[in-house]
Amino acid sequence: MKRIFLIPVLLVGCASSPLPKHVYANNSAPAVQLVLDAKVQQMSRQEVINATQDCESNGMRAAPIMSKRMVSGMMSDIIIDVHCMPRPKFPY
C-alpha cells in the first residue's frame, strides 16, 4: 500500500522541478539565427530527382526542406535540401 502512495508523489516532484537558469536567460527565448534567402541556394531539378532516388533506393522516404523566394513579385517555394527520413512502420 505504501508503494502505491509513493509513486505519484515522486512523479509530481520530478515534473514540477524548474528549468536550469542557463536554458532561458532573463525569461527570453533562445537566440535563433535567421538565414536569409540571399545566402541559400536553390537545388536544381535534377539534384532534387537524384536525391529523392537515393533516398528511395535505400528504403527511406525523401523529405524536402523548403524556403521561400520572391519571384516576379510573388512568393514562391523553393527546395534547398532533401533529407532521407525513415519510412513509417505502418501505412497511414
Q: What are phi and psi of 22, to 5 degrees?
A: -75, -10
Q: Is residue 72 part of a domain?
A: yes
Confirm whether pTM is higher than 0.75. Answer: no
State pLDDT tens for residues 8-65: 444 455 555 565 555 555 666 667 666 666 677 889 999 999 999 999 999 999 999 9
Q: Is residue 5 part of a domain?
A: no
Grid cell locating 6? 509513493
What is the extent of the structural domain holding 52?
32-87
Q: What is the mean pLDDT of residues 74-87?
A: 90
Instruction: Specify the residue for cell string 537515393.
Output: 54
Vertex 72 angle, CA 68 and 73, to 5°: 75
Q: What are phi and psi of 91, to 5 degrees?
A: -65, 155
Identify the three-state secondary structure at position 72. Answer: coil
> How many folded domains does the chain comprise?
1
